[in-house]
Structure 1
Amino acid sequence: MTATRRADFASTFKKSPATWLLVIVNVALYLVVSVQGGAFLNTAVTSPLLNDTVLVPYALGFGQYWRLLSSGFMHFGLLHIVFNMYALWVLGRDVEVALGSTRYLVVYLLSLLAGSATVVWFSAPDTATAGASGAIFGLLGAELVLVLATKAKLSGIVTVIMLNVVIGITQPGISVQAHLGGFVAGFVVTAAFIFVPMGVAKLRAQRGRYSRIEVDPQTGQEMAVLVTRKQVNLWGWGATLAVAVLVAIALVFGVENMQELIIG
């Protein structure tokens, strides 16, 4: 590896450590499942780890709640994980740089759980679902917010969204429910961090109002601050909490529904 490539690698890792971590964890778990099940290219159906962690809504009725989270790190076959990890690598770096690693991880995990919630409610109780696609669609929703906020060309992101929708509808074994739940969660949380402050700042600018006056450290001139960082965090984390509460409620009632199916 040349010095330039090492520098590029270090720079990429420094800018998006959470994305790297998620890719490493997903790949490592896939390798464990492959060794256990004796299959690398196809689904390792005999892997205890895979069978105990994929999301089967009916299993939640027996108290196996960890499946709601663990299923987002399991994959059915080589093509499944390659496609998801490539999407995570492409989308994750952009979103993590824009939001910061902490917000990025929150969006990712909340989108994953939102995807699990929609699977519990709108998929067959005995259907096994796995993969990072729910969380990745959350990043797709976040990326759409970033594209709209920067007024970049929409053609690229819209094409990706439409392509994934078509694949999800036409190909068997793909959970459209998880995609939809993850996308909505990622879009709403990211929009709260970006669109809400932008809207408030524009409104205050039109009315000649501001939060406070600060001195520009470079020019020494006073400047009006329309929206403070504290306010941005308040709106963003407030919306994140609201989405988290809604997802939690959906999961709780979904689990109760599975328990009722088992009892009666």
Structure 2
Amino acid sequence: MNIFLIVIIALNLIVSFKGFNDLSFFRKYEFHVGSIRAGEQVRMFSSGFLHVDIAHLAFNMLTLYLFAPYVISGLGSFTFLMIYAGSLILGNLLTMALHKDDYSYRAVGASGAVIGVVYAAILVQPALEIYFMPGYIFGIIYLLYSIYGMKSKSDNIGHTAHFGGAIGGYIITLSRAPVIITENTSTVIILAIPIVILFIMAKMGKL
């Protein structure tokens, strides 16, 4: 297994289990709009290594374990690390932008970073199947569902971080391997559709 992948999974396990057993630690490092606006910027990064429970942690780490090898083999270890970290930060930046006036908003989890890796894997391996469907179909359905979740606010899932993470994976992958644009043009265009829809809705004040 790749050393970067081992370190990322280990950090998630260590920080998450610390948070499971220490509520004050969990509260200190979770994503919390009021605290971040008060200057605690470390939460923009630290929150990505905390999880609500073991099931949340296990799902994210299993997904990362399954999809990271496609990115590492296709783009290299350093780009994989860039995608993971960049997607985590972009997911939280988008969350902050859309929830900046909700001072009580809280969130944790590596989902934004993991979704960024999943999107990178889809771009690198367009023939990849996810849940018995082509990866690019899964990608567009997932982002459209995320837009719905962001708008309806009907559950406790961090849809905004997921969407921001997907954008991060999309942008960083294409910037590091622009040849994908010409080699897999249809996949690139299809995955861009929900991103364009999101920005149009944001401009129109629909989110």
TM-score (norm 1): 0.59
Query: Cα RMSD over matched residues?
Result: 2.4
What is the one-letter code of the residue matched to 1:21?
A: V
| Structure 1 residue 166, shift from structure 2 partner | 4.2
What is the one-letter code of the residue matched to 1:88?
A: L
Which structure 1 segments of 5+ residues have no match?
A: 1-12, 37-46, 201-264
2-side partners of 1:198 and 1:120: how far apart?
Answer: 30
- Deviation per residue, 1:4-36 (Å, 9 max, x gap): xxxxxxxxx2xx221121111101112212232
**CA shift in 2, pair 1:63/1:93, >3 Å:** same
- 2:17 aligned with 1:31, yes or no? yes
What is the one-letter code of the residue matched to 1:33?
A: G
Which structure 2 segments of 5+ residues have no match?
A: 184-207
Q: Secondary structure at the match of 2:8?
A: helix
- 2:114 aligned with 1:136, yes or no? yes
2:31/2:106 contact within 8 Å kept: yes
Q: Which residue of 1 aligns with 2:173?
A: 190
- Deviation per residue, 1:158-200 (Å, 9 max, x gap): 4643358648838721111111111011111111222347749
Q: Within 5 Å, give how 1:48-197 maps onto structure 2.
A: 48-123=24-99, 124-148=102-126, 152=127, 155-158=133-136, 160-161=138-139, 162=141, 166=145, 169=149, 172-196=155-179
What is the one-letter code of the residue matched to 1:70?
A: S
1:144/1:187 contact within 8 Å kept: no
2:124/2:180 contact within 8 Å kept: no
What is the one-letter code of the residue matched to 2:98?
A: F
Q: Secondary structure at the match of 2:178?
A: helix
Aligned residues with identical type, % of pairs: 22
Bigger relative contact order (CA 8 A; separation at least 6): 2
Q: Which residue of 1 aligns with 2:190?
A: none
- Deviation per residue, 1:46-91 (Å, 9 max, x gap): x111100111112112210100000110101121111111111111
**CA shift in 2, pair 1:197/1:133, >3 Å:** closer
